[in-house]
Structure 1
């Protein structure tokens, strides 16, 4: 009995020491293992571009209505020639039944804008200026006859619009806009009217169009603008051609200028 108890005591002591050793070794091993590092945060969605530019071609379709005013032309009778105009006199009077047309243009266009939000942007547009030919309309038995060139105008116009972009259709992103359009002249060439000048003015513009984005940065666009501009031009002489030449005389053209501007090309956002 004594021997059996002693054997049991020895076994229990061995098991206890073995457990103590195993626990100690496990603690040392745990201390040597580095603690796991926290996983890096996943990157958030890429911020949308703020700036954009559009480059393309533009066609301007004229729609305008003009009223003409001029001083009456005085003349003298020259033997063998007849009545020769020499100068304008008195106040300017309306030329009833007469008007004017402006030629249409086809040129290069550019637009630039900034997104304040994913939907709202401020945009400025322009185009390479081309000469507009202004021709008189309506019958007259005296010069200038219908179809005569009154003058040629090299205009400048800068539409500035606030634009709302519809982004819920994926790659196709229609937009609507409206704003102002400062307009001015770069130069005026003489025609029948000489010494011409067009006053700077500010009109209104309505805009509609769409971008189709092939990628985050590149796309194509179609844009339509309607301008509403009241324009006033003046001149200081009339050119009757040889042998009479130019005589003094004041004239005014008042135009309600409402062209359509169609443009298309490439969009780049950054």
Structure 2
């Protein structure tokens, strides 16, 4: 990620946090008492996330390695508390990534761009659910669908990526700011491998994307 991209990402995260803090401050007037987490309730969170593919163990039939770009995007999740400590969380987000191959026999190749939709379901354990500060850990499964893929013409006329499934681990914390409102920080490590077919299969590539997803946002518990 370039210096400019990092600065833009930081500015976006700062704007989101500022806006969410203003909403919570306004809600504080009518809903001052913290309520914690309890069985049978739902929590909705909105986060700003950074998606950082690790691009490990990649290769192409022309040699070299594959690289997918970092991205910043919004994320929405819904949690249901089975008990005070245990919750199921469904995470939804979509990001667009630029894909390229470097050090091939053709040199650096811009493959194109693709959107990925990786719904993720995790089972979480929440420590100290009745306190203001409540960290949690989680583990689950991610399914990644690639769609609206655009090849980088004229070198690449056609490209497609396989749907992939892999495990995900998670760590995060909620802070009960006031009433039903929570501040949230979260990090997930997804283990995802995918294969690409370029120009009808004339060129093949594989990569362990293994994205790290870090986010910050706000939650509301019903």
Q: TM-score, normalised by structure 1?
A: 0.64
Instruction: Say if 1:47 and 1:56 are closer, same or farther in 2 by CA, change over 3 A.
Output: closer
In 1, the alpha carbon distance for the partners of 2:37 and 2:188 equals: 30
SS of the aligned residue for 1:258 comes to coil
Q: Does 1:108 align with 2:79?
A: no
Q: Does 1:232 align with 2:195?
A: yes
Alignment partner, residue 118 of structure 1: 84
Shift in Å, 1:60: 1.0
Once the two structures are superposed, residues 106-149 of structure 1 have per-residue CA deviations (whole angstroms, 9 ceiling, x without a partner) of 1111111100000000001122x232111111154xx3x22x31
Q: Does 1:269 align with 2:217?
A: no
Name which of 42, 55, 58 aligns with 1:51. Answer: 42
Once the two structures are superposed, residues 89-111 of structure 1 have per-residue CA deviations (whole angstroms, 9 ceiling, x without a partner) of xxxxxx33x11111000111111
Q: Does 1:181 align with 2:142?
A: yes
Contact kept, 8 Å, 1:151 with 1:194, in 2: the verdict is no
Name which of 204, 210, 216 aligns with 1:252. Answer: 204
Identify which of structures 1 and 2 has the higher relative contact order when contacts are C-alpha pairs closer than 8 Å and 6+ apart.
2
In 2, the alpha carbon distance for the partners of 1:63 and 1:202 equals: 16
In 1, the alpha carbon distance for the partners of 2:122 and 2:36 equals: 27
Contact kept, 8 Å, 1:54 with 1:110, in 2: the verdict is yes
Contact kept, 8 Å, 2:87 with 2:123, in 1: the verdict is yes
Give the unaligned 5+ runs of structure 2: 1-34
Shift in Å, 1:167: 1.4
Alignment partner, residue 168 of structure 2: 205
> What is the CA RMSD across the aligned residues, in angstroms?
2.1
Give the unaligned 5+ runs of structure 1: 1-44, 70-94, 238-248
Alignment partner, residue 15 of structure 1: none
Name which of 46, 67, 83 aligns with 2:59. Answer: 67
Q: How many residues align?
A: 184
Contact kept, 8 Å, 1:173 with 1:211, in 2: the verdict is yes
Name which of 94, 98, 101 aligns with 1:133. Answer: 98
SS of the aligned residue for 1:193 comes to coil
In 2, the alpha carbon distance for the partners of 1:233 and 1:210 equals: 36
Q: Does 1:99 align with 2:99?
A: no
Shift in Å, 1:200: 1.3
Alignment partner, residue 244 of structure 1: none
Instruction: Say if 1:47 and 1:133 are closer, same or farther in 2 by CA, change over 3 A.
Output: closer
Shift in Å, 1:195: 2.0
Alignment partner, residue 162 of structure 1: 123
Shift in Å, 1:46: 11
Shift in Å, 1:47: 9.2
